[in-house]
Structure 1
Amino acid sequence: MVWLEIVGWAGSLLVIVSLTQARVLRFRVLNLAGAVIATAYNAIVGIWPFAVMNGVIAVIDVYWLFRLHRERHDAQVYGVLEVPADDSVLRHLLDTHAPDIARFHPAFAAGSSDPAGSAAFVVVRGDELVGAVVVRSAGDGVGRVDLDYVTPRYRDFTPGEFVYRDSGVFAAHGFRRLVVDSPSPESRAYLERVGFRSTADGWEREVLAAA
């Protein structure tokens, strides 16, 4: 039947497309969809070795999707390290992803941030760098967030939240308020999740005094 062949090809296409994805969550979702379709197709036409193989792949994808969602807000999985603004590890991250950073943070990529007056943090997952936050002092207790960047692999998650969770790290630098100027529309939901609110002067977040 023609429709069955179309379904089979659709499953194969989804698996192929999934392998082109840099984002780990998107990869798993597309791979799962393709594996489920391929399992059903091969079972219907009686190609059992491929049906079993794709069925096992689907189970593996479900396991990883469950684990990724369970760990996305887990401070035992993600860690935050404060580093000097001119730290070599931070610089490596910025240099490696320079074109991507220029796309989302053109002012920062252009070198408008003053490293000497900035607080910098890198977010890690195990031994992997997954993001960075750089906050520059704007005076009078105001910290301007010049960079809040996540690598493409983890962009479906919000690892920057682990930096904002501990307000003490900002209070230690004398910040009483954090400000984000003109965030992109797609980043506004994220800013709300990490405690920022839209005001007449931009997006702001109060910093609690260190305990």
Structure 2
Amino acid sequence: MVLWQVIGWVGSGLVVLSLMQARVLRFRWMNLAGAVVATVYNAVFAIWPFAAMNGAIAVIDVYWLWRLLRERHDSAVYEVVEVAPDDAYLQHVLGVHAADIAQFRAPAPGAPVAERGADGRVAFLVVRGDETVGVVLVRRLDEGVGYVELDWVTPRFRDFTPGEFVYRRSGVFAEHGFRRLVVPTGQADYLTRVGFRQQADGWVREVVAA
């Protein structure tokens, strides 16, 4: 009996903890685990209304996990919108999330900045429906080099990599005169997947015109 009490508390705890998660994917996994445990617990003690409720929650979680994982690399779901570096909405997003963004912003580039446009930058918003889920800022250096100053994702979608959709559109960088993109550091698996290769002083991606 004591073992089953522990199991029941574990299930309840997982459900409560899942509601505290900002990341949508982590929330779904934890909520699913808690719902499955709670379903088993209530079924063992024949508490059928709660068993049915938690079973239904588990099925809903499975559906959303399937959908989220299926769509994570789908360019039909995530759209890239190029905006002016001084765009009012972009500045609003950067301001609202300033504290979080500060943890991901790359240090100032060592090479000289080749000014062109507003502060020598190009900017992209990654949106999912009407929700902004990411920002990519690339600063222009001399000799056609683009310095990835920011590749940021909102906490809700941090288990995903929506920035990849910007790099898929490599033609847009060529249109802006970039021949190469550089980033000082980042997650190796992500950077490799979007076409960067590691060098002694950071990561580099050659730009190919579409």
What range is the shorter-chain TM-score in? over 0.9
Structure 2 residue runs without a partner (length 5+): none
Following the alignment from structure 1 to structure 2, what is the Cα–Cα distance between the partners of residues 167 and 107? Answer: 24
Which residue is equivalent to 2:167?
A: 164
Which residue is equivalent to 2:10?
A: 10
Cα distance, 1:189 vs. partner? Answer: 1.8
Which residue is equivalent to 2:139?
A: 136
Which residue is equivalent to 1:82?
A: 82
Following the alignment from structure 1 to structure 2, what is the Cα–Cα distance between the partners of residues 153 and 164? Answer: 21
What secondary structure does 2:21 align onto? coil
Cα distance, 1:87 vs. partner? Answer: 0.6
Amino acid across the alignment from 2:79: G
Q: Deviations over 1:181-202 (max 9, x none)?
A: 1x14xx2221111111101231
Which residue is equivalent to 2:181?
A: 178
Amino acid across the alignment from 2:3: W
Which residue is equivalent to 1:42?
A: 42
Following the alignment from structure 2 to structure 1, what is the Cα–Cα distance between the partners of residues 143 and 104? Answer: 27
Amino acid across the alignment from 2:98: A
Following the alignment from structure 1 to structure 2, what is the Cα–Cα distance between the partners of residues 88 and 107? Answer: 24
Using the size of structure 2 for normalisation, the TM-score is 0.93
What secondary structure does 2:166 align onto? helix
Structure with the larger helix share: 1
Q: Which runs of 4+ in 1 moved over 4 A?
A: none
Cα distance, 1:106 vs. partner? Answer: 6.2
Identity rate of aligned residues, in percent? 66
Q: Deviations over 1:30-55 (max 9, x none)?
A: 00000000000000011100000000
Using the size of structure 1 for normalisation, the TM-score is 0.93
Structure 1 residue runs without a partner (length 5+): none
